Structure 1
């Protein structure tokens, strides 16, 4: 049976505002300069990991090599990048498999990649900076900023960021699925996207039920634009990416929405109308917007993991609120404000047709894990990125295993 877009596509990024909602007053701010190529450095050099067997020792490194190879083979993953850094213990940086199934070009640790829902960590960081500035409050109703949101007087910014708004997910609308997959090069606007969800009744009262929903993050992107008067991509670039020194991370938007800097791997998905595998490298990410349209690489994600998990760009009080996770209904997984805690690993995953990522930080071990894949095709009902991250953490942090298996075949984050 054909698989419809799941959490990857859905979570990857989509902000749609109802046609009743006006677009934010965006002033003429220049868009970030187009990145045309990455600075070529080996994964070992750029991320302080010794060449050869690596700093974790030959036995552990061999176990990791085998575990990653086994998952890649079993799940049919074309290419995998894994970066693991453990303070005081060593590191492991590997790129295996192919970046292009036609040319057999090898995968590389230097490639750019679409990061899907990891975009949410950047969008919510920008939002929380406005909280620190006193320009908004987390318990403000969304109706204060955006008109036309169903039950908008009761749904707060906090509800949106913690995925408890009760709004109907736009990505669950059959019309949206058909329109997106019928023409993956189409450009969507936030109002168009939100309209798919707003024509349905809300699924629950605000604050009651965790439902992973890209509409929430589209709305928060619009709030950022409304309050600042600037495009959300520019706000994130100026207030998040630059202070964090993430020079290879970008938010394609506006005229540059199709931008995908070289070098990058080809992406492969079966989220198609027929269910056949397709090359989705050049699909338009506008449907994901502030929920999942961003691009990065291993080097920047390595830096970002600790920054977002420890709150470098936020006040201690705001970061404390961010990390106050609530149950999701999935064992070992709590969700805070645009961030999750998976058995102690703090961060987010990302999935968009053709690409998946995981970027997490384990404070108790001062460990960082980054996983990048060039496919989002599930295996046994599970995300391939979760399978890789789980295999790695079962070896290096057995007391803290990322995305421990659950009894249901439904996966928590899409």
Structure 2
């Protein structure tokens, strides 16, 4: 996506931005008399959303909290990171919340700072869809043509295929013309119609439902379908069905590139010069209404709430983890191995989440921002990390690397694998 030396780096960043990078009040989670969200089974959640500001915990001189901070300190030094913000919880209870480095020169990073959560919002969309299925409003295998009549082949493409990314639609983020346009004007406001047309103007990589590839177009279309199904604007719907019931007070959509104060600033060399990218426009990344910002406490809560399936029935939780994607991802002449990544039993894409061994995860990446959320159901362990890169930071998901190191220390029998 960039000229000269950073073309390859930016392409990887853009492709991973959301991958490696959105009238139904009655369908929201019920609440107790005290207002605490409850699960689909009616039990109060163990971690019903923080009600106080997201603040750093007091670190002891020794013990697990101190060990986690030292892991982050070493990783920040190893990778030349500008900042690291993290939170770890077990069974909804804080182990540590801390921040390292600076947001800007002379401005320390702080756990209350907001950053872009990228494809975490796609996880919200997947859970929202499954909640609608639990309510009997739709079926996963319903064709999308009634709601998306202008989508070519919409009679063959189902809601399941959109949420699981098995439609065969080309990922517009990989198209050279799109990459050049974003590089030339990172502040441009893209419309859903514009980005979807980039994909639908290309030939399908495979017949819908027969293979797997990550395509941002799937999730833009899923957001549009959810709005049509419910008659509710997507940002409102996600608040009713997911972020509200999980108690996520600092997670919100914006239809502009604005980020609420306090802001975690980001910088990148993706265009060849190390420059601020905080307010580069993320409108192309996913469906309007799901372009969100969050803080580290909400990210950790999302990891536990989505990863445990607390808002879903047991059958929908199983669909979340494997909607039929295991075994897909076969490389073909039309869909090379770098696109149609193999989905194995241990490492595969679910319905808006990534299953990485024993963990349920997401790890967004967007022009200087990297984040990771991961949940280990057997230990009820949630790890949330946000990073910003410095001028010498290597390519890749730096927040995910830190999450992997924390997992290795806290759950050595359950490593977090790489994905994509």
Cα distance in 2 for partners of 1:376, 1:73 equals 10
Aligned partner of residue 103 in structure 2, secondary structure: coil
Report the Cα distance in structure 2 between the residues aligned to 1:212 and 1:123, rounded to whole angstroms: 15
Distance 1:59 1:146 in 2: 54
Matches of 1:378 and 1:152, distance apart in 2 = 45
Aligned counterpart, 2:95: 91
1:207/1:67 CA distance change after superposition, 3 Å: same
Residue 338 of structure 1, CA deviation: 0.7
Partner in structure 2 of residue 9 of structure 1 = 14
Instruction: Tell me, in whole angstroms, the C-alpha distance in 1 between the residues paired with 2:174 and 2:409.
Output: 36
Residue number in structure 2 paired with 1:322: 320
Give yes or no for the alignment of 1:277 onto 2:282: no
Residues 234-292 of structure 1: CA distance to partner in whole angstroms, max 9, x if unpaired? 21123322222211110112xxx2331000111112332xx322211111221123386
Establish whether residue 286 from structure 1 lines up as the match of residue 299 from structure 2: no
Q: How far is the alpha carbon of 1:354 from its aligned partner? A: 2.3
Contact in 2 for aligned 1:83/1:369 (Cα 8 Å)? yes
Aligned to 2:76: 72
SS of the equivalent of 2:218 reads: helix
C-alpha contact (below 8 Å) 1:11/1:213 kept by paired residues? no
Gap change, CA 1:301 and 1:41, over 3 Å in 2:
closer
Poorly superposed stretches of 4+, deviation over 6 Å: none
- What's the offset of the Cα at 1:87? 4.3
The aligned counterpart of 1:189 is 191
Deviation of the 1:39 alpha carbon:
6.1
Decide whether aligned partners of structure 1 residues 264 and 43 sit closer, same or farther in structure 2, where only a CA change above 3 A counts: same
Asked if the contact 2:55/2:97 (under 8 Å) is kept, the reply is no
| Residue 121 of structure 1: how far off its partner (Å) | 0.9
User: How far off is 1:7 after superposition?
Assistant: 5.3
> Is the 1:142–1:152 Cα contact (8 Å) retained in structure 2?
yes
Aligned-partner SS, 1:286 = coil
Equivalent residue number for residue 210 of structure 1: 212
* Contact 2:343-2:349 within 8 A present in 1 as well: no
Q: Per-residue displacement from partner, 1:74-130 (whole Å, max 9, x unpaired)? A: 222100012112349971322111111xx2311111111111111111122222222
Counterpart for residue 406 of structure 2: 392
Is 1:365 matched with 2:379?
Answer: yes
Residue in structure 1 matched with residue 299 of structure 2 by the alignment: 301
* Equivalent-residue separation in structure 1 for 2:197 and 2:54 (angstroms): 44
Q: Which residue of 2 aligns with 1:52?
A: 59
- 2-structure distance, mates of 1:247, 1:186: 28
Contact 2:18 2:364 in 1 (8 A): no
Q: Deviations over 1:365-397 (max 9, x none)?
A: 111100011239896553211211111111111
Which runs of 5 or more structure 2 residues have no equivalent in the other structure? Answer: 20-50, 328-340
Residue 23 (structure 1) aligns with:
none
Q: CA RMSD in A?
A: 2.6
Aligned twin of 1:403: 417
Aligned to 1:22: none
Question: Where do 5+ consecutive residues of structure 1 fail to align?
Answer: 15-37, 45-50, 405-410
1:123 counterpart residue number? 125
Count matched residues.
Answer: 367
Counterpart CA distance in 1 for 2:390 and 2:171 is 20
CA distance in 1, matches of 2:305, 2:93: 20
TM-score normalised over the length of structure 1: 0.81
SS class of match (2:319):
helix
Distance 2:351 2:173 in 1: 21
- CA 1:84–1:156: 2 relative to 1, 3 Å: same
What SS does structure 2 have at the residue aligned with 1:160?
helix
**How far did 1:59 drift?**
5.0
Cα deviation for residue 65 of structure 1 reads: 3.2
Give the aligned partner of residue 242 of structure 2.
240
Match of 1:42 in 2: 55
Asked if structure 2 preserves the Cα contact closer than 8 Å seen for 1:126 and 1:236, the reply is yes
Q: Partner of 1:163 in structure 2?
A: 165
Contact 2:117–2:371 (Cα < 8 Å) also in 1: yes
